[in-house]
Amino acid sequence: MGDINLGVPEGDLKNLVKIALEELIREKPELFKELIIEIIEEIALAKAIEEGLNTPEVSEKEVMDILNSDAV
């Protein structure tokens, strides 16, 4: 997880996070669901950006031609 030192032993910190997540799931399942959805969306966006950075650029005209064609 990196070199973050909060003054709490790693085992204790993991236990606290586990307890907090268990409480969140039990007491506020809708909030937990929203959190998971947000995490998945962020991962998907990061992957899409990474993929976009590794593909050739196209002109606005090429994009508009495709959008205006009957192929879409």
CA angle 37, 40, 45 (to 5 degrees): 125
CA distance 70 to 55: 24
Q: What is the pLDDT of residues 20-51, one digit of tens each?
A: 999 999 999 999 999 999 999 999 999 999 99
Q: What is the pLDDT of residues 15-28, one digit of tens each?
A: 999 999 999 999 99
Please tell me the pTM assigned to this model: 0.57
Domain residue spans in the chain? 10-68
